[in-house]
Amino acid sequence: MNDQNTFGYSVGNTLSGALARNRVLRNTFALLALTMIPTILGAWVGVSTGFSFFRTSPFLGMIIFMGVAFGFFWGIEKNKNSGTGVMLLLGFTFFMGLMLTGLLTHTLQFRNGAQLIMMAFGATGLIFAGMATWAATSKSNFEGLGKFLFVGVILLILASVANIFLHIPALSLSIMVIAVGIFSAYILYDVHRIISGGETNYVMATLAIYLDIYNVFTNLLAIFGIFGGEKD
């Protein structure tokens, strides 16, 4: 009787855990799709108004951007279990849409600018689909990947800040290419964390994957502009 009860409890526990993980994954993907709306709206407002933190001083603009971003991160973390967290997340994605202003404005100066944007969007979608599928079907454990990726991001940030002053084109291109690789791997890592039960809050899961996708898209678009931009 005890064995049967233990077996039944184990199966029930496994099933409830799987259902919970599937629910988090489903809610994450639904909210992720919703974040595209304020992002596009923010980008439209930014391009229409010429919004920029970086016009007068790139370094000061970076400080302001980081301050606002980390303010949103703090608020989302504190309210992740309520509707306020969702609203803050959507507000953050609007802000990130605004931050696309400079890149989009530059890209749209090319004769094929709109095409480059769609190419970057499509390539980002393919990368996301590929990494998410890999995370869902692979039997490998990707938990250890997080530490290496975090170190990679820190090095990227330091290199990016340094290049604000150095203005080395080859370094800029290297940063972009490496960033695409790192944040593509982060998609794999973050989706795997949901599937394995490492992340149980869909708001925080959405924030993580949104940032992955955002960084893949922006760096791909910059690379496409360098190699495929057609000037009038």
Read off the pLDDT of each residue in 28-34 and give the average, rounded to a whole number.
97
Provide the whole-model pTM.
Answer: 0.90
Q: Tens of pLDDT along 175-220?
A: 999 999 999 999 999 999 999 999 999 999 999 999 999 999 999 9
Domain ranges, ordered by start, for the chain: 2-35+101-228
- Give residues with Cβ within 8 angstroms of 27, minimum separation 6: 202
- CB count, 10 Å around CB of 150? 13
Model confidence at 35, pLDDT cuts 50, 70, 90, reads very high
Helices 113-137/202-228 angle, 10° precision: 140
Cα gap 222→209, rounded to integer Å: 20
In the predicted model, is pLDDT for residue 5 greater than 70? no
pLDDT in tens, 103-129: 999 999 999 999 999 999 999 999 999
Report whether pLDDT(83) > 90.
yes
What does the pLDDT read at residue 19?
84
Separation CA 173–CA 80 (nearest Å)? 36
Angle (nearest 5°) at CA 154 between 177 and 33: 65
Reported as a pLDDT band with limits 50, 70 and 90, residue 11 is very low
What does the longest C-alpha to C-alpha distance in the chain come to?
80
Report d(CA 158, CA 163) in Å as an integer: 9
Q: Which two tokens stand for residue 66?
A: 């980081």
Give the separation between CA 182 and CA 129, rounded to whole angstroms.
16
Residue 128 CB partners (closer than 8 Å, separation 6+): 187, 213, 216
Q: 216 is written with which tokens? A: 């893949």
Q: Are 174 and 117 in contact (CB under 8 A)?
A: no
What number of residues does the chain have? 232
The rounded distance, in Å, linking the Cα atoms of 126 and 143 is 23
